[in-house]
Amino acid sequence: MLDKVRNWLEVRIGLDDIVKTQLTENRVPKNINVFYTLGVVALVGYVIQVISGIFLLIYYIPHPEHAFRSVQDIMSRVPYGWLFRQMHVVGSNLMIAAVFLHMITVFLMGNYKRPRELTWVGGGLMLLVTLIFGLSGYLLPWTQLSYWATTVVTSMPTAFPLVGDFIAQVLRGGDHVTGTTLSRFFALHIAILPPIFLSLLALHVFLIKRIGISATPFGFSDEERRPLTEYIKKTHPDGYPFYPYLFQKEVMMVMFYIAVMFFAISFMPTLFLPEEANTPADPLMTPAQIRPEWYFLGPYEMLKLVPNKFLGISIQIILVGIFLLWPFFDTQKEKNILKRPLLRGVFIFLMALWIVLMFLGRRS
Amino acid sequence: MSRKYLLLLTVLIVFILPSFAPGGYKEEFEKEFMSKPWAGEQAEEDVCIECHSSDKMKPAFRTITEEWRASWHAQNKVSCHDCHGGDSKDATMAMSRQRGFVGSPKYVEIPEFCGKCHIGIYWNYLDSGHGKALKSSVKGPNCTTCHGSHNIQKASIDIINEQRCSKCHSYERAKTMKQALFLTEKKIGELESSFRRLRAEGVFDEDDERALFSTQAEFRAIFHTVDVSLVKDRTDDFTKKLNVLEKGVQDTFKELRFRKNFSAFIMLLFAAMGIVVFALTKTPKE
Amino acid sequence: MKRRNFLQALLALLGSISFASFVYPLVRFLAPPSAEAKARKVTLQKNEVPVGGAKNIVVNNSPAIVINRAGKGFIAFSKVCTHLGCLVEYDKDNNRLVCPCHAGIYDLEGNVLSGPPPKPLPKLPLRVEGDNIVIG
């Protein structure tokens, strides 16, 4: 029976050829490691967000008078509403962690180097879009946590001269966070960002397929050492077939990702939902502790520490710029981080700095 | 190589140079951003507190602000002007009759003073033996006799005790009342701590918490009639309402346990699948 | 059975169970609420609420009040004060609703006149059908 279907498809779209080129004859380097699966894990994380988000959309009401109540109803009245909401909340944080891990491992393996600069830029932009997804989604439950964290973050652009106030006003739709802000953040979250993300994703995947999977820097000498003056797709003729070799690894990592997500949902259900997240937003009462989510804590703390606000923001923008355009700054041929003590040192320093800032931000 | 450094330098200059420029926007920003509570600075306090806690004030008055700060009123953002009137933002009008300042009430005027907000309790008090005693002879308990004046704490059944109530009559009557109240108060206390536990686990049931508050407030308002038979008559009603709330709380705890088990089950399924796939990767095809 | 086949069968089994553990909640999630949607109505006779007077009723397990306003007709409110949930009382002589806990005062349209309540008193849908008043 299965053979009949296969035959039917083969005659129409050349199924056998697709299976051969994409799956069984698609060769990946022999020493490919599990970190190469993180991109797919991040993608699955995104898909989980989309699906759980669509189900939440069925019951959520995007209006300041009803938003909080609708989310409480999802958590306590709608059957299994809690399951989808928790998947969305925990999933968003976990996806950002997966994206960070993916980025760090690509960086450490030097897989952003020529000819893969554009792939890195696309990925960096996707990270920024993901962070904005997080920011816009955060406001939607209209809780004390949402309202005040959004107030803090939308005030940050006022550090810019001339255009700062205007930017903040466009973000908020006014002088303060109101229902107008909720509407535009909602539109951003469900209608504007997804097509942008998907376009970047399509570009990213196209580039990976077109250029070919890079070899790891560890082990045998890398082909990329030779000067590149013309397009040659990177192949691994003596490597393992993508299916089942790398595909199995990807499935395994996705299973563990989901297992971690459900571990958090079962045993740490309030990790991302502290008391302020269960209290309706009150524009007249500022809670004692306002902090952005963990992924914004580092930049937030830096902004508070640098004495000049404008300098604080400029430094961050410069750092983001350097991060996005890193392949253009680092043109050295050596990919192996173990042979690059300077870069290794700087990287470890910056990582440590980010983590310290994050913990400082938690305690403030 | 040098072109890249030139680019970097230009970017640095474009961004950092303006930081040193003096400019209205910097003051604006500091005013808007740094003055908010979440940026680390304090919110403004009432002008009343500023004067009444300063050294210029006589010592007897200076303790008032500390007492108030420790009170349940302070925690609920009820401050000086809410009871005494006056303008809390303008020092020159803080004690002005035009802004409603009523000064410090006399002993017999206290029930009206507190009854401005606590209406239900005021009505019941007036009907009670205590209220009638105060109105007829000036010798009787007013609100501050039991609750204090500035350091008012959350009401509890232990306000009724031998020391306080035997000042005017034997403790026997107060003891009977305390016994009549005891079980209901205990249940209310248990429900309050259950709701606190639920909140810690992420569940906020607004409707039920309100119903508890309303039941408790009504119950305590009835106490102020100091009519033991009335309290005994109505205790059944209150117990019924509290039992309904208690069942709701138990159901919620059960539901939370179910959720934990259900998610843990799914977690185990996926962990198992991950392990099976891992085993498959180590099992070569023949 | 070969190890490989066993593992594949096990994976298929676990996969189906996982799939079912999402499909079942999803179906329950999407199904329309049954009994909750049918709010029970309360019917009163017009003459049970004299002009200027009021009657306490219970609608959907929540205390409510029907008032016969002179010149403006019947109106029904939830009695739950929007401040902290105490039950408001009808002050006939002053044409207002007063909350005994912290003196929240509402007019007979439900608007807050003074005191701590943050929102107006919720109105309940009310219809006059012949000699009856139907609330809910």
Residues 157-196 of B with CB under 8 A from A: none
A290 contacts on B by Cβ (under 8 Å): 38
Residue A277 contacts residue A145 (beta carbons within 8 Å): yes
pLDDT at position A83, please?
96
Question: Tokens in use for C80?
Answer: 């739950």
Question: Tokens in use for C83?
Answer: 């401040």
- The C-alpha torsion from A96 through A98 and A100 to A101, rounded to 10°, is 160
Pick C67 or B205 by higher pLDDT.
Answer: C67
Q: Find the DSSP H helices in A268-340.
A: 294-305, 309-324, 326-329
Taking CA atoms, B1 is separated from A327, B100, B113, B284, in Å, by 14, 75, 81, 50
What gap in Å lies between CA C67 and CA B159, rounded to an integer?
39
- The C-alpha torsion from A204 through A208 and A210 to A214, rounded to 10°, is 150
Residues 48-107 of C with CB under 8 A from B: 80, 84-87, 89, 98-103
Pick A227 or C123 by higher pLDDT.
Answer: C123
Q: What is the DSSP string of B83-150?
A: HH-S-SS-GGGTT-GGGT---SPPGGGHHHHHHTT-HHHHHHHHHSHHHHHHHHHS-S--HHHHH-SS
Average pLDDT over residues B118-130: 89
Residue B38 has pLDDT above 50, yes or no: no
Q: Which of A11-15, B22-26, C69-73 comes out lowest in average pLDDT?
A: B22-26
Residue A30 has pLDDT above 90, yes or no: no
A159: burial class by Cβ within 10 Å (0-12, 13-18, 19+)?
A: buried
pLDDT at position A78, please?
92
pLDDT at position A51, please?
97
Residue B10 has pLDDT above 90, yes or no: no
Q: At what angle do helices B206-223 and B228-281 cross, to 10 degrees?
A: 160
Q: Which of B44-48, B179-183, B235-239 comes out lowest in average pLDDT?
A: B44-48
What gap in Å lies between CA B110 and CA B133, rounded to an integer?
14
| Residue of C3, C14, C58 to mutate, testing the B interface (most B Cβ within 10 Å of its Cβ) | C14
Taking CA atoms, B195 is separated from A1, A278, B277, C89, in Å, by 59, 13, 44, 27
Average pLDDT over residues A181-202: 96
**Cα nearest neighbour of A57 on chain C:** C30
pLDDT at position B252, please?
94
- Report which residue type is found at A35: F
pLDDT digit string (tens) for A163-189? Answer: 888 888 898 888 889 999 999 999 999
**What pTM, to 2 d.p., does this model score?**
0.84
* Average pLDDT value over all residues in chain B: 83
Residue C63 contacts residue C79 (beta carbons within 8 Å): yes
pLDDT at position A104, please?
92
pLDDT at position B40, please?
39
Residue B37 has pLDDT above 60, yes or no: no
The ipTM is 0.89
Q: At what angle do helices A193-211 and A117-139 cross, to 10 degrees?
A: 160
Q: B118 and C103 in contact by Cβ < 8 A?
A: yes
pLDDT at position A227, please?
67
User: Whose CA is closest to A49, among A202, A197, A200?
Assistant: A197
Q: A255 and B29 in contact by Cβ < 8 A?
A: no
Question: Tokens in use for B16?
Answer: 């950092």
What gap in Å lies between CA A147 and CA A139, rounded to an integer?
6
Instruction: Kindly report the nearest CA distance between residue B201 and chain C, in angstroms.
Output: 22
Q: Which of A220-229, B272-281, C28-37 comes out lowest in average pLDDT?
A: A220-229
- The C-alpha torsion from A178 through A180 and A182 to A183, rounded to 10°, is 170
Residue B46 contacts residue B77 (beta carbons within 8 Å): no
